[in-house]
Amino acid sequence: MATRIGFIGLGIMGRPMALNLIAAGHRLAVYARRPEALVPLADAGAEACDSAAAVARKSDVVFTMLSDTADVEQVVLGSGPDDPRAVIAGSSPGSLVVDMSTISPSATRRIAARLADAGVTMLDAPVSGGDIGARDGTLSIMVGGPAPAFARAKPWLEILGRSIVHIGGQGAGQVCKACNQIVVGQTIAGIGEALLLAEAAGVDGTRVRDALLGGFAGSRILEVHGRRMLAGDYRPGFKAVLHQKDMRIVQETLHELGLGLPGTALVAQLLNALVGQGDGELDSAALHLAQRRLNGRAHGPV
């Protein structure tokens, strides 16, 4: 019998991912708290459900692509212990939950333990690659959880992504995503500082970027985010407020581990300042705006 798939969280990332599963021939049951978010999926042939539990009742595997830790807790476990609308209330023993949101690694382990008590296995499978990767099915997917569950989920993950790596046990995927956001955040900050130096020294930033792209400092982030900084074009992409959320998760994890990573803390503070100044909806490359304001160069050309 064909596997029945559920999908909950139909935003910038979840909608194209769910559509890709349908395009690959799967039957989907979907739920969103705003009924209008269900329309494009229903139009594509998905069955719209009125709760997360209803999705789980119709599914052997439920994918979630929600915003933050508290959202996954609410949707999967419910608002209280016996919430009839939660995924756990509708799940059968032997079923699978694959959470692809970016959330806390330690909360992931707690959610996985609660699901395990109900006979349900959880994988954490956060992604990198943005809305373009979601649409094109080229995401990088970092997976935590038991190997047999990973093997079961892999064919579906291969529809959604190009690089699928089993990192380790439950929570390991989210730890990997935290590592990813440390590297991305510090690289954006480094590029922003370099372009600010070029500008202050009266050197053409576009030529600096061109030269750096051909050498050891070259990177996809220099290419994409460097271009955005030079153009002052901060249309999202990956919103600063989501990167701030991810750095909060990193900071919470460092606190739990008693680990001090000063460069990471600095990036988190710059994102706090940027969001605090009302720019959270801009692309996370706008971290450069916080650096500019720090140096009294808010309005000049880069």
Q: Which of 160, 238, 282, 290 binds ligand NAP (CB under 6 A)?
A: 238
Left (φ > 0), alpha (ψ -120 to 50) or beta: where does 103 sit?
beta
**Minimum CB distance to ligand NAP smaller for 72 or for 149:** 72
54 belongs to the binding site for ligand NAP (CB under 6 A): no
266 phi/psi in degrees, rounded to 5: -65, -45
**Minimum CB distance to ligand NAP smaller for 18 or for 96:** 18
Give the three-class secondary structure for 106: helix
The residues assigned a catalytic role are 177
Give the three-class secondary structure for 123: strand
**Minimum CB distance to ligand NAP smaller for 160 or for 289:** 160
11 belongs to the binding site for ligand NAP (CB under 6 A): yes
**Minimum CB distance to ligand NAP smaller for 144 or for 205:** 144
Stretch that binds ligand NAP, among 26-34, 80-88, 162-170, 248-256 (CB under 6 A): 26-34
Angstrom distances, CA of residue 76 to CA of 12, 14, 48, 99, 215: 20, 16, 18, 9, 46
Q: Which of 47, 60, 74, 221 binds ligand NAP (CB under 6 A)?
A: 74
What's the min distance (Å) between Cβ of 271 and ligand NAP?
A: 13
Residues belonging to the chain: 302
Give strand pairing partners of 28. Answer: 5
Assess contact for 280 and 244: CB atoms under 8 A.
Answer: yes
d(CA 112, CA 115): 5
Helix (H) or strand (E) segment spanning residue 29 = strand 28-31
Residues 137-196 that bind ligand NAP (CB under 6 A): none
98 belongs to the binding site for ligand NAP (CB under 6 A): no
Q: Which of 5, 19, 21, 32 binds ligand NAP (CB under 6 A)?
A: 32
Give the three-class secondary structure for 261: coil
- Contact set with ligand NAP (CB under 6 A): 9-14, 32-34, 37, 65-67, 71, 74-75, 101-102, 127-128, 130-131, 238, 242
